[in-house]
Structure 1
Amino acid sequence: MTQAFLGKVAAVTGAASGIGLASAQALIQAGARVVLIDRDQKALTAACAPHGDAAIPLLLDLLDAEQCASLMPQILDSAGRLDIFHANAGLYVGGDLVDAEHEAIDRMLNLNVNVVMKNVRDVLRHMIECKTGDIIITSSLAAHFPTPWEPVYASSKWAIDCFVQTVRRQVFKHGIRVGSVSPGPVITSLLADWPAEKLLEAKASGSLLEASEIAEVILFMLTRPRAMTIRDVVLMPTNFDL
């Protein structure tokens, strides 16, 4: 792999597993130093260990307002700059709406929507000063289709889709690109909360993506010429689209 991001600094939330880990690994392989942000100390240490100085661990619980507000200052303290930000951390609530607990709804909407907005807002202040930058947000196929078995989760991703498209139009004049990647079902820990029948159906039909495949798409988006913005990529296993 070419060192497309040599000298660049990236930060990824939810970086200790799943899509976040795959994204961080791909960015490191492409030459970037990456700040891996996660609340799981053990998983974060394990994720950073193989990469030496190229991986910078940042232990944060983004659902804690004070810790969330410290994200950008801590990135700058540890890495000195930020060129690429991947807002990936998220939660899942599936199933019938009447079965969803109030607390679970609050936590998911806070992390999937409010935290993303706060993080991007803080990152933008730095990138606007630098007159360049890239922001990628992990959305979902659920942002583009009214998925009947996940009304809470899908609603959070529809909100993020609107956020990406509106913020992108605000900040392109500063040399900043904003886009989202919207995968169908990916083999991550979030699938543990899928309705059992849906998970079995997806596994049986080969309708799941690997996190590494999402990371490849993210690198594609980031390595386009600066005059090109890929605002959203929707990707899914072919069998899932039948």
Structure 2
Amino acid sequence: MGISLAGKIAVITGAASGIGLATTEALLAAGALVVMVDWNEAELSKLATRLGDRAIPQVTNLIDADSCGKMVPEILGKVDHIDILYCNAGTYIGGDLIQTDNATIDRMLTLNVNAVMKNVHDVIPHMSERGSGDIVVTSSIAGHFPTYWEPVYAGSKWAVTCFVQTMRRQLIPHGIRVSQVSPGPVVSALLADWPEENLRKAKESGSLIEPSVVADAVLYILTRPRNVTIRDMLVLPTNFDRV
């Protein structure tokens, strides 16, 4: 039987849409308070109004070093503590490497890798002092095999997978669990950059999953007894490997 999340305080990045929003809604339904981190201030404001008092907006631009560095201190000015950090924000580049440009590569690595490392770095002292905490990161099935049609994205997720699994071991003595969830293709705005043929095949074959499915996986990770860590949960559409 899973442990209760009632009264827990969670921080979710990329919370204004997709997996982040679905997980916000799931955690609120489970009784948690959620700090919704996103750069989109207008959308956060609308969502906070709809979701109620236990959804707290936090406007942070994770690509901006100054804004990213202020995230955890600003959050701790709004809530008493942080039980859960879910590093979910990310972006996507598909296609051959030569088809993109250096600025786009920099932006992806800053958001998909650097911001994750910085957010985890900044929350560790707080969680270590409390002797407890959960850190979950959104990786991808692309972080587990060389997806040749998205080498920049896959490279960023391989980096995240390595980071999560090293930090999982490093933080065990501090009472902090570190996990990741690795979805296959999810219905979200990120798919707008998919090669058209790949996207068409995925839609026709039912090889996409809804963000709520990933949110369910995150809840499963968070509700295990404290002596159990889910290292990684791969969540794939049944037909994905047939595309």
TM range (shorter): over 0.9
1:45 paired residue number: 45
Q: Give per-residue Cα distances to partners, 1:168-216, cap 9 Å, x unaligned.
A: 0000111110000000000010000111111111000000000000000
Secondary structure of the corresponding residue to residue 78 of structure 1: coil
* Correspondences of 1:49-68 after superposition (within 5 Å): 49-68=49-68
TM-score normalised by length of structure 1: 0.98
- In structure 2, the partner of 1:112 is 112
Q: Distance in 1 between matches of 2:95 and 2:48?
A: 34
Alignment-derived partner of residue 189 in structure 1: 189
The number of residues matched between the two structures is: 241
Deviation at 1:125, TM superposition (A): 1.1
CA-CA distance at 1:3 after TM superposition = 9.1
Worse-matched range after superposition: 72-81 or 12-21: 72-81
Map 1:121-132 onto structure 2 (within 5 A).
121-132=121-132
Trace 1:157-176 onto structure 2 (pairs within 5 A): 157-176=157-176
Deviations along 1:70-108, whole A, 9 cap, x unmatched?
Answer: 111111111111000100000101101011111000000
Distance in 2 (CA, whole Å) between partners of 1:147 and 1:52 is: 40
- Which sections of structure 2, spanning at least 5 residues, go unmatched? none
1:73-222 aligned at under 5 Å gives the runs 73-222=73-222
Q: What is the DSSP-based 3-state SS (H/G/I as helix, E as strand, rest coil) of the residue aligned with 2:224?
A: coil
Q: Which amino acid in 1 is paired with 2:166?
A: T
Question: 1:231 is matched by which residue type in structure 2?
Answer: R
RMSD between aligned residues: 1.1
Q: Which runs of 5+ in 1 are unaligned?
A: none
Are the aligned partners of 1:3 and 1:29 in contact in 2 as well (CA < 8 Å)?
Answer: no
Task: Please tell me whether the aligned partners of residues 12 and 88 of structure 2 are also in contact (alpha carbons under 8 angstroms).
Answer: yes
**3-state DSSP of counterpart to 1:16:** coil
Residue 47 (structure 1) shift: 2.1
Detail structure 1 runs of 4+ shifted over 2 Å in the superposition.
none
Partners of 2:43 and 2:209 lie apart in 1 by: 22
- TM-score normalised by L of structure 2: 0.97
Tell me, what secondary structure is at the counterpart of 2:215?
A: helix
TM-superposed CA distance for 1:145, in Å, is: 1.1
Query: What is the alpha-carbon distance in structure 1 between the residues aligned to residue 47 and residue 210 of structure 2?
Result: 17
